[in-house]
A and B are shown apart, each in its own frame.
Chain A
Amino acid sequence: MKTVIRKLIEQHGRLPVAMSTLADGQDLYAAGLTSFAAVQLMLGLEEAFDVEFPERMLNRKSFSSIDAIAACIAEIAPQKAVA
């Protein structure tokens, strides 16, 4: 799952640094993720994993790291987490 997440961040995140330099726990906002790019990433994740983030997850924290995103997806779609 994290490989897919990384690919989507690369695609939507418009980060000024290479994805390969980022650890799973690293703060994406500190790495340059903007609020608008985070929205694009959120929509990209929903499409790729065929999920809809509930209202309570539509915040900064949910998309703050690869680990945080993986935890959200694992929570709302446990079957996708093993993929």
Chain B
Amino acid sequence: MCENCTTFRKGLFAHRLLIETGVDGLYGRGGVFEDVIHRFDNLITSFGGADGAEVVRFPPGMNRALFEKSGYLKSFPNLAGTIHAFNGNDKDHAALLEKLFAGEDWTYGQEATDIVLAPAACYPLYPTVAQLGALPEDGRLYDLQSYCFRREPSQDPARQQFFRMREYVRIGSPEQVTEFRQTWLDRGRELIAKLGVPFDVDVANDPFFGRAGRMLANNQRDQKLKFELLVPIESTEKPTACLSFNYHQDHFGTLWGISQHDGETAHTACVGFGMERVALALFKHHGFEVEKWPSPVRKALWG
């Protein structure tokens, strides 16, 4: 794809920032890399922590039945990851080992479990909010972070299959959630400016699958439902989305039956931070050695 990203990836491996596993987009993280992620996490909290969001942490898996209802497979069948497991008897076990040692496909007997991998930090949230009943008058606000999975193997280190997403999710009236998104569009710019990396904010669309997806993507753009804060990492022509600002209108409210205090369907919006991508943007623009990063950047992260 691009020569530079291969070089960048090699540098990340050489400095033990990322650790190679043999699978593109699946990496271990070194201590320094994790420290940068942790400091950036804190920086986000310094901007949003006073808003009083309820902190919720889900594991990187979600209830398969709820995932099926979420509509993710309508839009992104190619990105979803499901968890399958062995569910056989002694005879099946023997057959599995026979195939395994013969170097043949042993996975055919694996059965889908009731867990799928979370494609975004907020997917498991909405059904749990619906269970709480109608929203209070000022709506609800959540602070989420989890590893997420998207099946898109790539040599670009900024496109990983397992990555962390921090999110604030606002659920309420159209006015409440659009105001929230505007606030974060402003905060996002201010926050990334502190990190001393070049960026741009632009209208965007999700990578919806197929021709039907083309139409959904165009609709999303026409209505300016998604913005991204982009930082050049792999290339300047195609900068990487590091933050995204999404207004779902009443999509999740209708889907999960979330009502406002007056009975109207709730609207939702979220701001998502690609944790690894922001860390990578920092390493790309300031170098592999954090001690040598510009002092305003070090101050923003380490204080």
Contact = CB atoms under 8 A, between A and B. Distances in A.
Interface stretch (A1-9, A35-43, A75-83): A35-43
Contacts, number: 30
Contacts of A35: 215-216, 219-220
Given A36-B71, A36-B74, A42 B222 contact: no
Given A36-B71, A36-B74, A55 B222 contact: no
A58 B218 contact: yes
A55 B214 contact: yes
A72 to B, nearest CB: 12
A43 B211 CA distance: 9
B265 to A, nearest CB: 12
A26 interface: no
Interface of A: 34-36, 38-39, 42-43, 55, 58-61
> How many B residues touch the partner, as a band?
10 to 19
Contacts of A55: 214
Contacts of A38: 215, 219
10 contacts: A35-B215, A36-B71, A36-B216, A38-B219, A39-B212, A39-B216, A43-B212, A59-B219, A60-B218, A60-B223
A38 B220 CA distance: 12
